[in-house]
Amino acid sequence: MGWWKTLGSKAGIAGKSSPSPAGEGNSELSLARRRNLPAVWLCGLFTILSVGMVLGVLLLIAWHAFGYYWPRPIMDITVRSEDGEKRFYGIVVGHQTGINPADPTKRLSQTRLRLANRDLVESEFIWVEDEKLAIKPAPATVGVVERTEYGDAIGNLLELKVEGDHPTTIAPTDPQFLPRLNDEIRRVRERKAKIRRLERELAYLVEPLQKLHAAAAAIRAKPEISDRDRQKLTELEGRIKELERDISPRQREMEEELTRLRQGAERATLTLALADGREVEIPIWKVIRVYLPNQMSLREKVGHYLSKLWEFYTTEPREANTEGGIYPAIVGTVVLVFLMTLAVVPLGVLAAIYLSEYARPNLFTKLLRISINNLAGVPSIVFGMFGLGFFIYTVGGLIDRTFFADQLPTPTFGTGGVLWAALTLALLTIPVVIVAAEESFAAIPQGLREGALALGCTKWQLLRRILLPNALPGILTGVILAVERAAGEVAPLMLVGVVKLAPSLPVDSYPPYLHLERKFMHLGFHIYDVGFQSPNVEAALPVVYLTAFTLIVLVLLLNGVALWLRNRLRRELGGEV
Amino acid sequence: MDDPIKRASGPPGLSPWERRKDRLARLVIEGGALVIILAVLLIFFYLLKEAFPLFREGKVSLVAEVRPEDANATLGVVVMDDYQKLALRVTRVGLVETLALDRNQQVPPPFPLELAGEVVAAGFNPFSDLLAAADGEGNVALIRIGWRSRLDPERGRLVEPQYERLADFTLAVSHPPIARLAVGGGEEEPWVAAVDSAGTLYLAKLSSGLFGSEVVHYDLSGEVGRVAGPLAISPRGDRLFALEGSRELVAVRLGEEPRVESRATHPAPVTSLAVTVGGGSLMVGDRLGRLSRYLTIRQVRVTNGSSSPITVHGTVLHPGESAEFIDQEIAKFVKGIPGVELSPADFKLYRVGEEFPHLNSGVASIIPSPASRLFVAFGEGGEGVMSHATSGKEVARIKSLPGPPAAGVINGKESGLLVMDRRGRLILHHLDPGHPETTLRTLFGKVWYEGYTRPEWVWQSTGGTDEFEAKLSLLPLIFGTMKGALYALLFALPVALFGALYLSQLAPQWLKHLFKPLIELMTALPTVVVGFLAGLWLAPLVAKNLVGTLIIFPLVPLALIAFIPLVNLIPPRIRVRLPQGWELLPITVIALTAVWVALKVGPLVEANLFGGDVKLWLYQKLGMVYDPRNALIVGMAMGFAVIPIIFSLAEDALSAVPKQLISGAMALGATRWQTAWRVVLPAALPGVFAAVMLGFGRAVGETMIVLMATGNTPIIDLSPFNGFRTLSANIAVEVPEAPVGGTLYRVLFLSGLILFLFTFVINLIANELASRFRARYGRF
């Protein structure tokens, strides 16, 4: 018997400790009210705190995520120090005032500057005390050059030099300057895309050959070579020769095309002048875009902002993930969640049907309930361990030995991949689906079942024709909630195949199109990796905030849809679910 | 209940096909339910299966016996290669002979030691593969043995010994012949130690300089008395251990000027000595069949320079006196006593462990593994035991020898043990040590590791050198898990419970319908986002204004309470008309003002009370280190993640308390608060408790937040300004690096199993409480 029952009845029903017996005077009542006020207010405080924290976190992330791509004016900055003056072009990113730790009577006010030019100045971000600082707007021809290496460069645009058949030099005063510059950048972008496509095709072409080579190398590296190994080696060598003969003409053709594309690439350079007078030549080959924030109109700024945002969602990351986009992470997350859904829905719905339609109060049902509760409570990292040990090493190892024996010891399924990650997450999210689906089965009026059975339905017919269609919105709610949970889960993925940079997507245009064994990128892991494992966290923060914002929006959207669906279901079925 | 609908299987006269479909559906559905149960069982048993081999015993099995023709000519030295293909022995006529342990091997001709007379003593060091042999006149040959192996297409792996003659020299022995010989030291400066028939110790060092090598002799006869027993030189060549008389252990510091560093008296006559890999531990076997471990530990000299006696660890030091202690923590203990001086002192030989398996007869020989702290000890009766110097685990018993061995060696892969008995027979065993370094004691108890000054709980899985010993104590991790959960609950409990009480009992309905989904939205927030904000945004912010942050916690409630008398100034006329929940508005304003004030006041307080730098002050005055990613930050971040769980379930429980109870209390004249606090809360207590348990379970298993918001240092320290490492974060950090099937891998699975069982129990309790509560008040 529960001890709390006696406790509850003592306090609540018998009223032994109930303090205000009948007949207490009005004045005393108001006194009691006044005495209670602190407690009530404290409770109110905690409520406000919980709500405030949620809103605060959302606003904080949105604030940081949205601001970054807005073009900010470039300033001409002079920093005085004992060694003399230094001039930079840069952007003011922050300001703080506080008490000077060295002299508590004085206040210290500092400005945070972003100087960009990672390869040209000592540090990209600096704090400078305001008294040592002189800031004025930089000339309108000062621009930001986004590069494929070392991040942005900021400087005064001097000239664009184009070599080739008609070598020309164009100065920024020329009205043709910006169109020509953008034209060159577009040309480079197209050429790069072509190269990338060709490279991918080439890789696809030689992949089987590489696998054979790897397998042969692995056998040669063995400490003991058996007769079977020798036999296999000869066979492998034969297959390698055959394959080489088959693909080598096409391969040579593609390689030549690649060299041609690469050679003719560097034909234009952009010259920048830094604030301290240094001149820097940047090949257009390394430029992604150029913009001049000091002469942009509001419309141009909005356009720039949107195109940056578009770029963020559609391109691959650069510079150890600290720049560029998150496209592969989005694809990885979507594929992962999709595969997980395929695994989790049948199992979850079966268990839910069992619990609501078949279960009798026996040991099996009790065990099932305990199992579901337990699955919901076990830390996610334990699922990750199980996924690693069981799915990858045990099942994956078995698959490799059975179907991919010629590639061993290079693992195919015996290493982390999107399939194993999806199965691991499916285990993790089963309880979510079961609870939601069971709830929706329970909400179906009993009369429908009785009516169907009375008309002579079998249980299967009842299920298929009446119950499943009626429960569908509820099941969908469960699936969405499971997807939401899976999209935000990171810890188990770290053990079962998520990587910071995947060379290829788990879905692409090469057969078999869906590559279950491939490693993948993931939005949540991207946040952890970029924020905590990258060499330049400061420069990477915008990417982290934007990724976090994307993830949150995704998750909250799913959550909202699920809640809306659930509420509609409740209203439609009228019952209290 | 036996629901007729649940039993129904269709009316009679149904087509058999429909009936079959119906039965099949039932089968599939029941199968689906079974899969869920099996999945949970599978997770449990899989974790168990991976963790269990840690506690398995090792295995030793007899493989082969080789009986050389002139077995009596063998000296007490035997060497074996890593693949257990060949064995080497030293014969009295001065040859290093090769014996094949495997039929396919080619046996090369013997290597001549080129000593003048019959060989009388030899010594081999398995760590540096040095062999020394001496003849009756004191001539010594020093040889390094290497192995070359290749794969032959026909005969598999072939192994061949390589000999490198390092030096030939003569020890001027006063009472020949040499009785014992030991060799040791690393690549550069090998040492040779010898004892003559009168028990005098001789030392020689081979120094290689620019102009070739020379042998330097040292005389320690003045310091070391009659050496009777075995000798051992550490692998690095920095220490020699010898036995003086029958019980006095002597540690000689080798170096430019060898000298006796420390002595220790063993409780029983010593019969055998061996150094383990790295030279950290000295294993001592005595006549009673007991094994002990000695460590060389650096001491601290405490000198009492004050004018009054002081007591240190129970020792009274009068003014001017000094004493040596091994505990480095002594610095903390005596700091601040005026006049007391600390100075580094010598290493001391210290007996630290005797939790080793016993032998039935005196210990005849101890054979250390060259790869780890594993060793095999044999007794005079021939019985052997395999154990581990740090864990003291009884890995396996060996019963295959009729008598005590004369010599033995374990190969570098720890897969073979070659023993030579006193008649020169070679016996090869196959070894499977399993996980000798792990016992329940090393996982959960304090262990005295090499290089430490006392037994400690340490988690340190990887190190820089080959000699590094993994220290896998789970206690710092369990402590870290509990610390993290504790700080999280400290923050989350009041917020979630009082918030739930307010929304369910004191606030108007519309507010509840607005706020509850909003707070529950937090469960959807990925923890990786929370962790990232905690680590990259909150941690630097708090570090910058620590005092201000700490002032917030008391200041906000105090400001509220201070403001309350003002409420009474509002005319009752107006107060009555205020809508329920109006107080949230002034609360918000007061709280925000208080936070603002705290953050402004913080730097002023820091400047005036803590000398401008509170972190420095904490360190100097309290000895606390401030780590920017600390328990305070995790407490707030993980608290944030746990709040919605506790809040939501607690609110459900509180709202499920029947209205009659509330109406009854109110009718009796209780205020809303009195009703909520004294009637509703006690009645809903089981449900609330279940909510707290589930929140606790969540905090225990949370990974990403801890991973990102702490420094992940596995230390045992309750300070809120320090980091910690939890079981879950540890798994996330270490599993990808751990070799599959290795000790670390299995220990990590064990920690996963602990997490699994822990959360299982918590869930079971919480659900039991919740279901009882439900049974009482209907569904909620």
pLDDT (tens digit per residue) in B472-502: 899 999 999 999 999 999 999 999 999 999 9
**Rounded distance between C-alpha atoms, residue B96 and residue B211, angstroms:** 29
- Segment holding B739, helix H or strand E: none
| CA A478 from centroid of its chain's CA atoms | 22
| A325 SS3 class | coil
**Rounded distance between C-alpha atoms, residue A246 and residue A250, angstroms:** 8
**Rounded distance between C-alpha atoms, residue B125 and residue B129, angstroms:** 5
Q: Residue A534: its pLDDT value, please?
A: 80
**Rounded distance between C-alpha atoms, residue B739 and residue B745, angstroms:** 6
Which candidate, B359, B466, B365, B368, places its Cα nearest to that of B409? Answer: B368
Q: Identify all chain A residues contacting B689, using CB atoms and an 8 Å cutoff.
A: 4
Under 8 Å between Cβ of A364 and B29: no
CA B323, B327, B333, B334 torsion-angle sign: positive
Q: Residue A77: its pLDDT value, please?
A: 87
Residue corresponding to tokens 């982390």: A416
Instruction: Inspect the interface and report whether the beta carbons of A223 and B157 lie closer than 8 Å.
Output: yes
Summarised one tens digit per residue, pLDDT across range B126-136 is 888 889 998 88
Among B668, B684, B731, whose Cβ lies nearest the Cβ of A15?
B668
Among B25, B561, B708, whose Cβ lies nearest the Cβ of A460?
B25
Topology given in CATH for the domain delimited by B475-777: MetI-like fold (1.10.3720)
Instruction: Inspect the interface and report whether the beta carbons of A382 and B43 lie closer than 8 Å.
Output: yes
User: Which residue on chain B is closest to A558 by alpha carbon?
Assistant: B524
Instruction: Inspect the interface and report whether the beta carbons of A21 and B669 lie closer than 8 Å.
Output: yes
- DSSP label at A113? E
H helical segments located in B610-703? 614-617, 631-655, 659-667, 672-674, 681-701
Mean pLDDT confidence for B82-100? 87
Among A33, A101, A224, whose Cβ lies nearest the Cβ of B613?
A101
Q: Identify all chain A residues contacting B532, using CB atoms and an 8 Å cutoff.
A: 527-528, 531-532, 544, 548
How many C-beta atoms lie closer than 10 Å to residue B551's C-beta?
20
- Written as one letter, the residue type at B667 is A
Among A40, A450, A490, whose Cβ lies nearest the Cβ of B506?
A40
Shortest CA gap B404–chain A (Å): 36
Under 8 Å between Cβ of B527 and B565: no
Suggest the residue from B528, B638, B707 to mutate for an interface test with chain A (most A CBs closer than 10 A): B528
What is the ipTM metric for this complex?
A: 0.87
User: Which residue on chain A is closest to B664 by alpha carbon?
Assistant: A13
Among B522, B591, B755, whose Cβ lies nearest the Cβ of A54?
B522
Instruction: Inspect the interface and report whether the beta carbons of B30 and A354 lie closer than 8 Å.
Output: yes
Q: Residue A1: its pLDDT value, please?
A: 34
Specify the domain boundaries for CATH 1.10.3720.10 within chain A: 330-523
H helical segments located in A489-536? 493-496, 523-533
Under 8 Å between Cβ of B189 and B205: yes
| B87 SS3 class | strand
Mean pLDDT confidence for B763-768? 88
Suggest the residue from A378, A537, A538, A547 to mutate for an interface test with chain B (most B CBs closer than 10 A): A378
Q: Residue A373: its pLDDT value, please?
A: 86
Mean pLDDT confidence for B167-177? 82
Two tokens, residue B678? 């004294």
Among A51, A350, A377, whose Cβ lies nearest the Cβ of B29?
A350
Q: Identify all chain A residues contacting B591, using CB atoms and an 8 Å cutoff.
A: 45, 48-49
Mean pLDDT confidence for B342-371? 85
**Rounded distance between C-alpha atoms, residue A374 and residue B36, angstroms:** 11
Shortest CA gap B465–chain A (Å): 25
| CA B160 from centroid of its chain's CA atoms | 40
Shortest CA gap A459–chain B (Å): 6
Q: Residue A270: its pLDDT value, please?
A: 86
Instruction: Inspect the interface and report whether the beta carbons of A380 and B8 lie closer than 8 Å.
Output: no
Q: Residue B599: its pLDDT value, please?
A: 86
Q: Identify all chain A residues contacting B502, using CB atoms and an 8 Å cutoff.
A: 40, 43-44, 46-47
User: Which residue on chain A is closest to B19 by alpha carbon?
Assistant: A458
Suggest the residue from B659, B671, B773 to mutate for an interface test with chain A (most A CBs closer than 10 A): B671
Among A49, A360, A489, whose Cβ lies nearest the Cβ of B6?
A360
- Written as one letter, the residue type at B15 is S
H helical segments located in A68-106? none
* Distances A423 to A353, A416, A485, A487 between C-alpha atoms, Å: 21, 11, 14, 14
User: Which residue on chain A is closest to B595 by alpha carbon?
Assistant: A49
Instruction: Inspect the interface and report whether the beta carbons of A40 and B728 lie closer than 8 Å.
Output: no
Two tokens, residue A9? 């009845």
Instruction: Inspect the interface and report whether the beta carbons of B532 and A13 lie closer than 8 Å.
Output: no
Among B525, B661, B669, whose Cβ lies nearest the Cβ of A29?
B669
Cis peptide before B628 (omega within 30 of 0): no
Shortest CA gap A114–chain B (Å): 18
Summarised one tens digit per residue, pLDDT across range B406-446 is 888 998 888 889 988 888 888 899 988 888 888 888 889 88
* Distances A537 to A297, A415, A488, B537 between C-alpha atoms, Å: 32, 29, 22, 12
| Residue B729 vs residue B277, higher pLDDT | B729
Q: Residue A33: its pLDDT value, please?
A: 55
pLDDT band at residue B12 using 50, 70 and 90 as cut-offs: low
Pairing of strands B315-317, A279-283: unpaired
Which candidate, A570, A571, A556, places its Cα nearest to that of A58? Answer: A556
Pairing of strands A317-318, B340-353: unpaired
- Written as one letter, the residue type at B72 is N
Q: Please check the confidence at residue B753 and state whether its pLDDT lies above 90.
A: yes
Shortest CA gap B259–chain A (Å): 47
Under 8 Å between Cβ of B769 and B693: yes
Residue corresponding to tokens 């337990």: A374
Which candidate, A88, A544, A70, places its Cα nearest to that of A317? Answer: A544
Instruction: Inspect the interface and report whether the beta carbons of A39 and B502 lie closer than 8 Å.
Output: no
What is A244-278 written as a DSSP string?
Answer: HHHHHHHHHHHHHHHHHHHHT---EEEEEE-TTS-
| Residue B152 vs residue B140, higher pLDDT | B140
Instruction: Inspect the interface and report whether the beta carbons of B606 and A99 lie closer than 8 Å.
Output: yes
Summarised one tens digit per residue, pLDDT across range B582-605 is 888 888 898 899 999 988 888 888
Which candidate, B44, B46, B51, B43, places its Cα nearest to that of B440? Answer: B51
User: Which residue on chain A is closest to B17 by alpha carbon?
Assistant: A458
User: Which residue on chain B is closest to A551 by alpha carbon?
Assistant: B526
Q: Residue A23: its pLDDT value, please?
A: 39
Residue corresponding to tokens 């069949």: B289
Under 8 Å between Cβ of A171 and A178: no
User: Which residue on chain B is closest to A381 by alpha carbon?
Assistant: B728
Summarised one tens digit per residue, pLDDT across range B608-667 is 888 777 888 888 777 778 888 888 999 999 999 999 999 999 998 898 888 888 999 989
| A103 SS3 class | coil
Which candidate, B97, B104, B68, places its Cα nearest to that of B83? Answer: B104
From the number of C-beta atoms within 10 Å of its C-beta (0-12, 13-18, 19+), residue A78 rates as middle
H helical segments located in B423-462? 440-444
Under 8 Å between Cβ of A525 and A490: yes
Q: Identify all chain B residues contacting A39, using CB atoms and an 8 Å cutoff.
A: 673, 677
Instruction: Inspect the interface and report whether the beta carbons of A371 and B1 lie closer than 8 Å.
Output: no
Summarised one tens digit per residue, pLDDT across range B45-71 is 999 999 999 888 888 888 888 888 776
- Written as one letter, the residue type at B699 is A
Shortest CA gap A14–chain B (Å): 10
In CATH terms, is domain A330-523 a member of 1.10.3470.10? no
Instruction: Inspect the interface and report whether the beta carbons of B46 and A24 lie closer than 8 Å.
Output: no
Suggest the residue from A460, A553, A577 to mutate for an interface test with chain B (most B CBs closer than 10 A): A460
| CA A497 from centroid of its chain's CA atoms | 14
- Segment holding A288, helix H or strand E: strand A287-291
Mean pLDDT confidence for B688-704? 91
In CATH terms, is domain B67-265 a member of 3.40.1710.10? no
Residue corresponding to tokens 């220290």: B471
**Rounded distance between C-alpha atoms, residue A416 and residue A402, angstroms:** 18
Q: Residue A99: its pLDDT value, please?
A: 66
Beta bridge partners of A400: none
**Rounded distance between C-alpha atoms, residue B418 and residue A513, angstroms:** 57
From the number of C-beta atoms within 10 Å of its C-beta (0-12, 13-18, 19+), residue A150 rates as middle
Under 8 Å between Cβ of B22 and B28: no
Residue corresponding to tokens 């005085």: A80
Mean pLDDT confidence for B127-156? 85
Under 8 Å between Cβ of A550 and A567: no
* Distances A545 to A366, B34, B544, B711 between C-alpha atoms, Å: 45, 43, 21, 21
Shortest CA gap A276–chain B (Å): 33
Q: Identify all chain A residues contacting B26, using CB atoms and an 8 Å cutoff.
A: 358, 459-460
Lowest mean pLDDT among A305-319, B162-176, B335-349: B335-349
Q: Residue B212: its pLDDT value, please?
A: 67
Residue corresponding to tokens 């760590």: B127
Shortest CA gap B605–chain A (Å): 10
Q: Residue B496: its pLDDT value, please?
A: 93
Q: Residue A575: its pLDDT value, please?
A: 47
Q: Residue B353: its pLDDT value, please?
A: 72
Among B6, B22, B613, whose Cβ lies nearest the Cβ of A458?
B22
**Residues of chain A below pLDDT 50:** 1-29, 32, 575-577
Instruction: Inspect the interface and report whether the beta carbons of A11 and B35 lie closer than 8 Å.
Output: no
- Written as one letter, the residue type at B302 is V
Two tokens, residue A513? 């199109």
Residues 6 or more apart whose CB falls under 8 angstroms from that of B767 comprise A370, A373, B690
Under 8 Å between Cβ of B462 and B470: yes
Helix (H), strand (E) counts: chain A: 16, 13
B310-348 burial: b if 16+ Cβ within 10 Å, else e: bebeeeebeeeeebbbbebebeeebeeeeebebeebebb
Instruction: Inspect the interface and report whether the beta carbons of A463 and B25 lie closer than 8 Å.
Output: yes
Q: Residue A22: its pLDDT value, please?
A: 40
Q: Please check the confidence at residue B19 and state whether its pLDDT lies above 90.
A: no
**Rounded distance between C-alpha atoms, residue B431 and residue B384, angstroms:** 13
Taking one residue from A and the other from B, the number of pairs with CB-CB distance under 8 angstroms is 397
Two tokens, residue B270? 């010593």
